Amino acid sequence: MNIIALPAFSDNYIWLLHDGRRALVVDPGDAQPVLKALQSTGLDLEAILVTHHHPDHTAGVSELREATGATVWGPAREAIPEPFIPLHDGDTVTALGVAWSVLDVPGHTAGHIAFWASDIDGAPLLFCGDTLFSGGCGRLFEGTPAQMLASLDRLAALPGNTRVCCTHEYTLSNLRFARTVEPGNAALQQYEQDCMALRQREQPTLPSTLATELLINPFLRSREASVKGAVQAWRSTADDAAAVFASLRQWKNEFR
């Protein structure tokens, strides 16, 4: 299998996975980068996977469906361009001969889902949309802090070698905030240097791995004493897990 991050807009990635003949794409907010990639490689688009309803993830769906006949799968509780196959937590999608488990991960939106495959070329693969970013997490547009914390906990429980394919190149800005929260985190410092080197070569910082994120991402580490202490020192009396997480997310919202 080959995985390609197709740039779209200012900082989106449309993930394209292919076996040399057939392809699937995830969250195509723009059809044109996908159509150009299909034309240049001679691939047939078999499937379109959608994690949530925001236009920068769905605006290219109809054009791609009409141009290729690809089947569209998306969250049952969100408005995805019709027709599509609605998915619920625990469902399985088979595409490119791979079984993709559907996980409910609300928070960024109310019906957000993720797609996880246990073994693609020796390691798991996760398409998580805007729930988890490298070094960060999505804004809470429709869900609650408790929902997002539970969603991130669910993703964090996946195997550590899971490759994390999120849909925005937010890594360096996220890591600036993460370093403010945990200035003594040596793994974070090294990861930031590695990501800066990738961006200087105009390469994506993604995919990351869950093992890496558990070491450097404050939103997966909000129960750690170092993160909890930083949140409380910021301007919070939060003590329980959901309240600490809510304050951490608010701090990130205001961070410049």
What residues are labeled active site? 52, 54, 56-57, 108, 130, 168
How far is residue 136's CA from residue 128's CA, in Å, rounded to a whole number?
12
How far apart, in Å, are the Cα atoms of 40 and each of 37, 69, 73? 5, 18, 25
Residues pairing with 16 in the sheet: 4, 25
| H helix or E strand, kind and range, residue 48 | strand 44-49
User: Is-contact 171 206, C-beta < 8 A?
Assistant: yes
DSSP-derived letter for residue 108 is: S
What tokens does 253 get? 């919202």
How far is residue 150's CA from residue 148's CA, in Å, rounded to a whole number?
5
The amino acid at residue 60 is G
How far apart, in Å, are the Cα atoms of 193 and each of 185, 186, 255? 13, 11, 21
The 3-state DSSP class for residue 147 equals: helix
User: Is-contact 154 126, C-beta < 8 A?
Assistant: no
Residue in the structure block whose two tokens are 């729930």? 131
Contacts for 89 with CB less than 8 Å, ≥ 6 apart: 102, 103, 104, 113
| H helix or E strand, kind and range, residue 68 | helix 61-68
